[in-house]
Amino acid sequence: MITRALAPYIFALLLGIVSLNLSAQKEPFYKTYDWESNPSYQLNFNDTVDIVSLKDKVVVEFYYEADGNLSEYFLIHQILWLNSDEQIEKNNKIYIPYFATTVPVMNKGRVINKDGNVINLTESDILTAQDDETKKTYKYYTFKGIEKGSIIEYLYILKKSPNYKGNSMFYQEEHLSLNASFDLYSPSNLYFKFKSYNSLPAVVQDTNSVDKLHWSFSKDTIPLLEKEMLSNYNANRMFLVYKLDKNTATNQHDISSYGIVSDNVYKYVYKEESKSTVKELTKLIKNAKVDATDDLTKQIRTIEDYVKRNFFYVNSSADELSDVSYILKNKIGSDDGLLKLYAKIFQILKIDFQIVLTSDRTSIRFDKDFEANNFLNNYLFYFPKIDSYMSHLELSSRLGFPPAELTNNYGLFIKEVALGDYKTGIGKINYINPVSHEKTYDNILINVQFDKDNMTTIIADFDKLSQGYYAGYTQPYMHLLDEKNKIDVIDEQIKYISDDVEIIDKQVFNDNPEAYGIKPLEVKAKIKLSTCVDKAGDKLLFKIGELIGPQMEMYQKKKRVLPLETGFNRTYHREITFTIPDGYVINNLSDLAIKNSYDKDGKTIFSFISKYELNGTEVKVAIDEFYTIFDIQPELYEQYRTVINSAADFNKVTLVLEPK
């Protein structure tokens, strides 16, 4: 969502869309719409089906009110057949959130039981809750009298401030949907554009419509889409996006284009601050100890580390939290506020930057070919000189490691351009490259010694280095933890092998956010393990593979439908060394060598290679594993599975130590 503070700037054009004395309109669609007074539905579903959507109707109408202002009427009509306790519990409550400028026009619900009995919701069943913080109101209720096999039906209409610069509607669910439709009505001067995604039918214009413009799609059946492990479910559902394109009354075109957004964002972010605020900002830069002789990366990191340590982000739309002077004084700020704070600091330091607006690709992928505001949800700073991104909000992120879900995606890059004395923001759509696999690694070096007195126990020198996104869950937070939690987090770095690991002593390096992305989080330890060697009569079974910990496995053969997405590119390097104990031989060392990789156009895309060297009685095992892409299309799934399972197979390698 574009945050509230910025909204007035982006939607500044809104005021321009008042009616220019167009001929009187027909009344809005909703006035003549209602649910069936005598509902009856054909239900020919197998009893194993637990839910079917019988109707999924959305109608959006833009409408000039008598005073000439444009309103939006938003209608949802949904009918669900619920045939399991689980689905009843999931669907028996309805929450309708809206802002203060919205008026609920209609809100009704009913339950139709198997015997045809209809239980209508009464006015007193509908509850209201206020939230001053988000400035939202909720209407909410529970359906009464639902039994297994009941139908629930609800219909509500909201009259809202019009939102026409890009909106998405999702249709596909984990269950079958029948009678899905979307209609958009608008005054005859307002022309909309539509785009459908993931095989949803196109929205087409009804050329027979008189008095108002009308576009729609309807489909009898929308197939269900099952959730799959490691898939971005929402982004793969069928959906459509609509936006206002032109106003023939004023002859405006490309109304929802990013040109206007870029200019508005620019004006908002680059707004001049008072002299006293600039003075405070200069003081902040001094306190942060930014050294102008440092390279750009170091300077930006110094600022970022300082602000993230000292300022607290609040997810709130309170106005003062976006005011730079307030933030400087109180050390708390909102999304927009902190964006402005950083932008001001970078301006003072004359650090060249661009503001990037993009989407979380796990929810909706940025469409570079269809400019609409619903793709502009998250900010990043981009520094062209070092080709690097920074997130102003995420504590788990630092320069060079933006939230991974915002990468591998397109975005709108807004940069300052000067035309003589006039400065403005110009937007351009670019690709946000994901961070390469070499920069995110998890390396483990283990040197194993057998305990001569108790051969089923091993002592090991352990060294684990986590860099990049791998340390993103720990390194940037270490200073925030109390001692007990800190110990737990560090112990977890070792106990991935098994809960049974006994930590004799340990040392931690670079356990601070300032090191994140620069130096790896390193945990060195001496450990004792008593579950790693089995006894089989006089033989010892050394479960060496367990030292790399349980690995993700995909042993089960499944047909893959959705692309598999694992978050980020990554590399693993592991080394395990040990000396074969006196009096023993190992005849199955070759089990340690596993090699599987996938190449494309002469380049290795993902790979697992383990090998070993034997020098006298010393065995040295080295494993290299990496993934240079993290969105695996279904056609690559089998190759990916083979490599992933190689690591899981290694985890099970057991060496047989036989007495000589």
Partner 1 sequence: MTAVRCFIIFLISLVTSIGAKAQFSEEYLKYKTMYPNENKVCLSTTTNFNISIVGAELKIEEVFSEENLYLGSNANLFSEDEISYSSFFDLKDLKASSMNFVNGKYKEIPVKNFTHKDNLSTGVFHDDSKMVKFLYPKLEEGAKSKVYYIYSVKNPYILAKSFFSFSYPTAVSNYIITADEGVEIAFNTFNTDSINLKYSTEVKGGKKIYKWTATDVKGIKQETNSVGYNYYLPHIIPRIVSYKYKNKKIDVLNNIKDLHAWYYLLTKNINQEKPEDKLVDLVSSLVNDKNTEFEKVKALYYWVQQNIKYVAFEYELGGYIPREANDIFNKKYGDCKDNANLLKKMLELAGIKSYLTWIGTRDLPYTYTEVPSPANDNHMILTYFADSIPYFLDATGRFNPIEIPSSFIQGKEALISLDSTHYLIKKVPIINAQQNYITDSVELKIQNQNLIGNALIKMNNYQKMDYFNFLEKITSSADLLDFYNLNFKKGNNKFLIKDFTESNKYSYDNEFTISYSFNIDNYILSSGDELYINLNLNKHMLDLVSKKEDVLNKEYDFKQYRNYKFIISIPEGYEVKYLPKPYNAKLDFFNCELSYRVESQKIIYEHTIENNFLILTKQNQTQLNTILDELKQIYNESIVLKKIK
Q: Which residues bind partner 1 (CB under 8 A)?
A: 50, 84-86, 88-89, 92-93, 95, 119, 127, 129-134, 138, 140, 142, 144-147, 174, 226, 309-312, 314, 316, 318, 320, 329-332, 456, 479-484, 499-500, 530-531, 533-537, 539, 541, 550, 553, 555-556, 558, 587-588, 648-649, 651-652, 654, 656, 658
Q: How far is the CB of 84 from partner 1 (least distance, A)?
A: 8
Q: How far is the CB of 329 from partner 1 (least distance, A)?
A: 7
366 CB burial (10 A radius; 0-12, 13-18, 19+)? buried
Q: What share of the chain is helix, strand, coil (3-state, %, to 5)?
A: 25, 40, 40
Closer residue to partner 1 (CB): 205 or 654: 654
Closer residue to partner 1 (CB): 550 or 581: 550
Q: How far is the CB of 243 from partner 1 (least distance, A)?
A: 32
Q: Judge whether 267 and 425 are in contact, CB under 8 Å.
A: yes
Q: How far is the CB of 533 from partner 1 (least distance, A)?
A: 7
Closer residue to partner 1 (CB): 44 or 556: 556
Q: How far is the CB of 168 from partner 1 (least distance, A)?
A: 25
Contacts of 223 (CB under 8 A, 6+ apart): 172, 176
Q: How far is the CB of 459 from partner 1 (least distance, A)?
A: 16
Closer residue to partner 1 (CB): 314 or 459: 314
Q: How far is the CB of 239 from partner 1 (least distance, A)?
A: 22
Closer residue to partner 1 (CB): 250 or 587: 587
Q: How far is the CB of 45 from partner 1 (least distance, A)?
A: 14
Question: How far is the C-alpha of 646 from the C-alpha of 593, rounded, in Å?
Answer: 10
Its sign, for the CA torsion 312, 313, 314, 316, is positive
Closer residue to partner 1 (CB): 248 or 485: 485
Closer residue to partner 1 (CB): 147 or 295: 147
Q: How far is the CB of 315 from partner 1 (least distance, A)?
A: 10
Closer residue to partner 1 (CB): 631 or 658: 658
Closer residue to partner 1 (CB): 88 or 203: 88
Q: Do the strands 103-112 and 93-99 form a parallel or antiparallel pair, or are they unpaired? A: unpaired
Write out the H or E segment, with its range, that includes residue 284: helix 275-287
Local structure of residue 591 (DSSP, 8 states): G
Burial 99-135 (b: 16+ CB within 10 A, else e): eeebebbebbbbbbeeeeeebebeeeebeeeeeeeee
SS3 344: helix
Q: What is the DSSP string of 471-536?
A: GTTTGGGGGGS-HHHHHHHHHHHHHTS-TT-EEEEEEEE--SGGGTTTS-EEEEEEEEESSSEEEE
Question: How far is the C-alpha of 443 from the C-alpha of 548, rounded, in Å?
Answer: 10
Closer residue to partner 1 (CB): 622 or 648: 648
Closer residue to partner 1 (CB): 157 or 532: 532
Closer residue to partner 1 (CB): 250 or 485: 485
In the block, tokens 């958009």 appear at 184
Q: How far is the CB of 119 from partner 1 (least distance, A)?
A: 7
Closer residue to partner 1 (CB): 22 or 318: 318
Question: How far is the C-alpha of 353 from the C-alpha of 383, rounded, in Å?
Answer: 5
Question: How far is the C-alpha of 243 from the C-alpha of 256, rounded, in Å?
Answer: 7
Q: How far is the CB of 345 from partner 1 (least distance, A)?
A: 18
SS3 125: helix
> What are the distances in angstroms from CA 207 to CA 24, 197, 373, 553?
20, 23, 27, 54
Closer residue to partner 1 (CB): 205 or 325: 325
| Token pair in block for residue 82 | 């619920």
Q: How far is the CB of 492 from partner 1 (least distance, A)?
A: 12
Question: How far is the C-alpha of 541 from the C-alpha of 538, rounded, in Å?
Answer: 10
Q: How far is the CB of 331 from partner 1 (least distance, A)?
A: 5
Q: How far is the CB of 265 from partner 1 (least distance, A)?
A: 26
Q: What is the DSSP string of 233-249?
A: HHHHS-EEEEEEEEETT
Write out the H or E segment, with its range, that includes residue 74: strand 70-82
Burial 477-489 (b: 16+ CB within 10 A, else e): bbeeeeeeebeeb
Helix 275-287 with 296-310: angle, nearest 10 deg: 100
